Amino acid sequence: MMGLNTGTTDKPKGQLMQRRNVAQWATGALLSLSASVALAAGASVPLESPAIDTGNIKSLQRGAQVFVNHCMGCHTADYHRYSRMAADLDLTEEETLENFIFTTDKSGEQTKVGSLMESAMTEDYGRQAFGVVPPNLALTARSRGTDWIYTYMKSFYIDEERGGVGVNNKVYPGAAMPHVLWEYQGWQKPIYETETKDGVETEVFKGFELISEGTMTPEEYDDMITDLTNFMAYLADPIKQERLRIGFWVMLFLLGMAVLTWFLKQEYWKDIKK
């Protein structure tokens, strides 16, 4: 430690070089992290951006229905409570019990509205069925992003080489999750085109072809996935709308205080300026 206080003329230069090295390391780490995120999202598949609006209550209600009916059979969202969801989505207790809660407690009674949003599937069963425990989806919109969720739910395709699930996903290749919404979307297959670059031919993914129609049109399915993604965005940040509302009034207050302070300053300094 004493060597840092010698007072030599080399100290500023050494500190500058050290700061440059730290800055270069931080830049490199940030670029590496960005590349990892892009790879995780599926570099060969451009992510689509849905119209996310967590203030759209009707969209959140529709998304919540899709979530509890099709996602919570395997996944949990136990950082959230049904009661909080009901309050934020303008649902009564009766509506929540009838349309959103399909699990029971250990005594066999219907899960209470104040309970956490837990799946009936145990971790041991999930590991046995899929080879991995289905992840908690409460914060997926934060960890993955809404674009990732939206594109992922639209990118399942038939893959006969994958035993068990029989499908694959372009955004997350090798996903253990089956296509639980196949009856709405239908079945699709990827389309590739051969491109030649520097004398090397490669198969380039160009999109999907619907080979078996579902009960929804592609536009209706996109709308449903938008609602589902919107609800998952709400799950990841349920306080967002209230934060925005409070933030507006805080900024308005600060603006008013700034104006008042300016006039006060003018009043205090008018005699001094003379």
Residue 256 in domain: no
> pTM of the prediction?
0.77
Residue 185: inside a domain: no
Question: Which CATH number do you get for residue 74?
Answer: 1.10.760.10
Q: pLDDT at position 273, please?
A: 64
Q: By residue range, what is the domain housing residue 83?
A: 32-154+217-247
Whether the CB-CB separation of 121 and 177 falls below 8 Å is answered with no
Residue 33: its pLDDT value, please? 39
Q: Please check whether residue 63 lies inside any domain of the structure.
A: yes
Q: Are 80 and 74 in contact (CB under 8 A)?
A: no
Q: Is position 205 within any domain?
A: no
pLDDT number for residue 133: 93
Are 128 and 74 spatial neighbours (Cβ–Cβ below 8 Å)?
Answer: no
Quick check: is 56 in a domain?
yes
Per-residue confidence (pLDDT) for residue 57, from 0 to 100? 96
Phi and psi at residue 196, in whole multiples of 5°? Answer: -110, 125
Domain count, the chain: 1
CA distances 26 to 12, 17, 22, 37, 38, Å, are: 21, 14, 6, 16, 18
Q: Is residue 226 part of a domain?
A: yes
Q: Report the pLDDT value the prediction gives residue 214, as an integer from 0 to 100.
A: 96
Residue 158: closest CA among 228, 192, 209, 226: 209
| pLDDT one digit per residue (tens) for the chain, 274 residues | 333 333 333 444 444 445 444 444 444 444 443 433 444 444 468 999 999 999 999 999 999 999 999 999 999 999 999 999 999 999 999 999 999 999 988 888 999 999 999 998 989 999 998 889 999 999 999 999 999 999 999 999 999 998 778 999 999 999 999 999 999 999 999 999 998 888 888 888 989 999 999 999 999 999 999 999 999 999 999 999 999 999 999 999 999 999 999 999 888 888 776 5
How far apart CA 18 and CA 144 sit, in angstroms, is 34
* 264 within a domain of the structure (yes/no): no
Indicate whether 148 belongs to any domain: yes
